[in-house]
Chains A and B, each alone.
Chain A
Amino acid sequence: MTVHTITVNVNGEDEIVEVPAHWTLLQMLRYRMGLVGTKNGCAGGECGACTVMLNGAPVNSCMVLGVECDGAKIITVEGLSHDGQLDPVQQAIMEAGGVQCGFCTPGVLISARALLDRTSKPTEAEIQEALVGNLCRCTGYVRIIEGIKQAAKLQKP
């Protein structure tokens, strides 16, 4: 089992990580770096619970190898808030009631952040499309979508 040493910027901090060659980014985050906020729902790129931002784009971290992230910039759910200040997507989805069991929430928040980075005033259809890869079994999505609409309003232009 080959182990690589890589440098990766996670949530604004440069980190040196030793990661087995066949490990996914999801495994690396959870079991090497203790960043367990990112969830493992299917390990097959189907449910979106493990969504993280990789160089500014949302990806299923179970579909990316850890070693591919040498030199990359990653943001996980733990990196969305700064100094106790929640990101507008966290604040708004929380207030809209878009959280029940919370297991899909980290991935949903990253997808929502990525959407609002792309477009500041998304339509309902754009929100629905941005969330299609994030399965949620509890909420029926209604309050998550409402939360993202509110987040767009909260956001500084």
Chain B
Amino acid sequence: MAMTDANKLPSPVGESKPRLDVLEKVTGAAIYTDDIQFGPGLLHARIKRSPHPHALIKGIDTSKAEQLPGVKVVVTGDDFPKRIGLYLVDKHIFARERVRFIGEPVAAVAAVTEDIAEKALDLIEVDYEALEAVFDPVYGASKEAPLIHPDLGDYDVPNFIFPQPGTNIANHFKVRRGDVENAWQDCDKIVEAEFYIPHVQHVPIEPHVAVAKFDTDGTVTLWAASQSPFAQRNLIAKSLGISESDMRVIAPFVGGGFGCKAGVTMEALPVAIASKVKGRPVKLLLTREEEFYTNFVRQALVIKLKMGCDAEGNLVALHNTMYWDGGASTEYGVNITRAGGYNSTGPYIFQNVHTDSLCVYTNHPIGGAYRGFGMSELHTGIEQCIDMLAEEIGMDKVEFRLKNCVKDGDIILTGMTMHPTGLSECIKKVAKAIDWGVKAKPSSPNKLRGKGLALMWKAPSMPPNAGSSAAVKFNEDGTITVGVGGQEIGQGTFTAMAQMVAGVMGIPYEWVRVRGPLDTRYSPYEWQTVASRLTWSMGNAVVAAATDARQQLLEVVAEHWEENPDDLDIKSGKIISYSSEREMSVKEVGIYGLPNENFEGWKGGPIVGRGKFMPTYVTNLDFETGQGERAVVHYTTGAQAFEIEIDKDTGKIEVINAASAFDVGKAINPELVKAQIEGGMVQGLSSAIYERMILEEGAMQNPSFVDYRIATSADIPTGHHIDIVEVPQDDGPWGARGIGEHPMVPSAAALANAIYDATGLRLEGPPFSSEKIYLAMLDAGLVD
């Protein structure tokens, strides 16, 4: 089906063109949601939030708040009876009857100023009856735990999510392949380990913000910092009983997403409030504190692993049980659990696999999509076990990985046949870059030095029929505007799309415009900007639209010249004929068409190229075994390695060298690919060394940048070697696959393996803070 040839890249595809959006961004001209001015009619919303992790709401008295001058409306859960949710529909916009985490919206105020709205919150009286809470997903999954969602059996749910009514298990994904119980006897070495990967927060520098307005004609507009304008329109409209076509979502530039601005996080709140104060725009801008403790989180994971190999070092069996701390309800959590399950071997081949991946309701913040979608957490466990097993069997850790990693044509854990992949090449590249096998001396006597490596795989985790569409339109000046519904969240997707259009149409890159804001009223449909799927999926739609526009151009000119369209081509913006050697600029044809001889009539007209893409081949997986013909569309694979020193006096880790190699199929813009790898690796290291939401009895103790530290400019490795590997994807544009999430997936695991190499210590899990490392070294007698 591919309209493109991975061996023939039309310029500027494959070139590192400058970003389309960068001049706006360095001059302060780029508009983000909070930059839009709504005039004096704007109302400011503030949210009354639950102080309890788990409680019944016995009553809410809003009368005093309503009487405060300047307050325009106060709403509670009574006003919005329908549930909302992306997969398992298990939430209300405002809590009804019961609260399930600290920070859950209970009521809201819209007032003429933020100060008045904030003051009014204190006047709302909520009467609670505290309930026993669940903070541990392992306990939560047990029969003894109190139920957080007694109505679980009544919720709407798609057919690939398996909630277990009567328990706190929101999804149970199983893999049963081979015979694990009997396979242990074929193993020469077996390792067992348990790890805990704590909650972390996305921390975009732009906080969540959304503004909603109901017009008197019944239409609703939502302006939001959004990765998912179409999904938000769909879910919010459904929950509030609005028709999708009456709801419009406008999404300007996004100041960092990483998954937290996908699905519906807080955007339904101002829409619900605005529905009670028609004609007035209502803005909700989260404080940084709210950004930390009320938003969707990367859910914590308890992972219990048992892994064995035979005497030759061939992997034989894996037993993997994952308890995901799904939180109070599950926007993405249930699907992360599913992805964790169908990827639960990591990029390795075992003939015998037994996996239980459980999404467990707890009274913690709600689990959401975070760059990697469960894969960082999963690989942090798997890749340490691989290291341990290699050591047990006495094999070099790189050799062991090369021997067992997934290769072309392998049958993976779900029964799917692996497509061509460059994983082995990635391993070799990284090992070479980090000088694997050569142990360098520490730079001083009070330092320990070590190297560690980890692999990764990740498939886009999405409904089987997530679709993309695109339109290519001419402007009067001959330039081309590309309509897309995928969002520019910093990854450079607008730039990549422009390169594809220029390449397909044979026109200069400078003639192509891809601009926001996205607008569900006018932008072509796109499922969501998630799953590292745009380069591949939206790229295919854009290629189709550009191909269509190109064909329309050629047909008009061919008719005009009385030639065959197949003899025509477009080069550098000129339509040329190989038979007659005539030429004409594309700019002359796109809008106005062409006149017949002596202006006796015209042909052509404004050209609009259309394109779509939707994978049609993904199959469902069996509930009992997780087996199916094709679980996912494809896998991006890669490897990462670190060389580190640990200060014996402080426990501080210094990353001296880093190496990354990822198989992106084809780099549409190599410098943008490298930029994703650089940024992703630092985000991965940040999560591995510094980050953890400290939750005590459900309350976050560190909701600020002072107490929740992220990597700064002073914390980055001194060197990072990057290799781009290109084994084309059969249905990607010129073979391209996504690379947005993958670079941070192996980071924590590679660092953990380097810490082991330096110290001989394996810790329960990240963050590998100086304090934790120092105390572990003290315990082990490595330091006095």
Contact = CB atoms under 8 A, between A and B. Distances in A.
Interface of A: 30, 34-44, 46-47, 49, 76-78, 80-81, 86, 90, 93-95, 97, 99-106, 109, 127-129, 131-132, 134-145
Interface stretch (B165-173, B476-484, B578-586, B713-721): B713-721
Interface in B26-68: 26-32, 34-35, 37
B26 A93 contact: yes
B256 A99 contact: no
B26 A41 contact: no
B204 A101 contact: yes
A76 B28 contact: yes
Interface of B: 18-19, 21-32, 34-35, 37, 202-207, 253-258, 285, 287-288, 489-492, 671-672, 675, 678-683, 704-706, 710-714, 716, 720
B712 A135 contact: yes
A103 B28 CA distance: 9
13 contacts: A36-B37, A39-B206, A40-B34, A40-B207, A41-B206, A77-B27, A80-B27, A94-B22, A97-B671, A102-B490, A129-B714, A135-B712, A142-B682
A97 to B, nearest CB: 5
Main secondary structure on chain B at its contact with chain A?
loop
A21 to B, nearest CB: 12
Nearest to B680: A140
Nearest to B257: A101
Contacts of A76: 28
A136 B205 contact: yes
B409 to A, nearest CB: 36
Contact of B19 (A38, A41, A80, A99): A99
B287 A101 contact: no
Given A39-B206, A103-B32, A132-B714, 19 more contacts: A36-B28, A41-B207, A44-B704, A46-B704, A78-B27, A99-B26, A100-B679, A101-B206, A101-B254, A101-B257, A127-B713, A129-B713, A136-B205, A139-B678, A140-B679, A140-B680, A141-B716, A142-B682, A143-B675
Contacts of A94: 18, 22-23, 26
Contacts of B21: 102
A27 B711 CA distance: 27
Kindly list the 9 A-B residue pairs having the minimum CB-CB distance in the complex, ordered from nearest.
A37-B28, A103-B255, A101-B490, A140-B682, A102-B25, A100-B490, A77-B28, A46-B705, A36-B35
Given A39-B32, A47-B205, A100-B492, A137 B27 contact: no
Nearest to B36: A36
Given A137-B258, A140-B679, A81 B288 contact: no
Contacts of B253: 101-102
A106 B492 CA distance: 18
Contacts of B204: 101, 103, 137
Contacts of B489: 101
Contacts of A93: 26
Contact of B714 (A49, A97, A128): A128
Contacts of B492: 100
B203 A137 contact: yes
